Amino acid sequence: MASRRTIITLSALVAIVAAWYAFRPERLFLNTTVSEAFPAASQAQAAVPSAPVPLAAGRFHTNAHETKGLATIYRLSDGKRVLRLTEFATSNGPDVHVYLVAAGDVQEDATVKRAGFVDLGSIKGNVGDQNYDVPTDLDLSKYRAATIWCRRFAVNFGTAPLGASQM
């Protein structure tokens, strides 16, 4: 009887640890604030320094978790492109990434996988201004939405549809 109770107790403990690892509930209550400066173009590559050119921009809307802020893709004077998130805030979570999605908007999680996406990397923080490199050969007429995506649970936190910048 004691060995059965021990097995049940150990099994329950393993299940609790596995659930904690999968869901990481403490991350829901912790904010990671980032305050990155706007990236400067490499002066060695830029023939004539010029102001960054906004190519596309949009405001985030909430999907699975409240998400807000502005997403703007800029071309720097050296030709590099960057996605800049400003006034940004969302929930924290496990394995959260920034994607550009080949769709005009994302309302449903399945749209991300169906349309296709480019992973710009793990989110640097769930609050604040931050920058992500955008491949220079990426077709921005196809990838028209920035999405905050939880890879662990395949959930879209929020999306910014990117339209031609009027800045």
| 112 token code pair | 């991300």
Closest Cα partner for 34 from 92, 81, 80?
92
Say whether pLDDT at 165 is over 70. Answer: no
User: What secondary structure, in 3-state letters, does 126-164 show?
Assistant: CEEEEEEEECCCCCCCCCCEEEEEECCCCEEEEEEECEE
Q: Tell me the percentage of the chain whose pLDDT exceeds 90.
A: 65
| 167 token code pair | 């800045």
Residue-level pLDDT at 49? 63
113 touches 123 (CB < 8 A): no
On whether the 31-164 domain is CATH 2.60.40, my answer is yes
Contacts of 119 (CB under 8 A, 6+ apart): 97, 98, 99
Q: Where are the domains of the chain?
A: 31-164
Across 79-84, average pLDDT: 96
Residue-level pLDDT at 115? 95
Q: What is the dihedral of CA 35, 41, 42, 46, to 10 degrees?
A: -170
| 110 token code pair | 């399945």
Residue-level pLDDT at 46? 47
Task: Give the chain's mean pLDDT.
Answer: 88
The strand order across the sheet containing 68-75 reads: 33-35, 127-134, 81-89, 68-75, 53-59, 163-164
pTM of the model: 0.80
Say whether pLDDT at 15 is over 60. Answer: yes
Q: What is the dihedral of CA 154, 156, 157, 162, to 10 degrees?
A: 150
Across 106-114, average pLDDT: 93
Residue-level pLDDT at 30? 72
Residues, the chain? 167
Distance of CA 21 to the CA centre of its chain: 21
Instruction: Tell me which of 7-16, 45-54, 70-79, 94-103 is least confident.
Output: 45-54
- Residues 112-160: tens digit of each pLDDT: 999 999 999 999 999 999 999 999 999 999 999 999 999 988 999 999 9
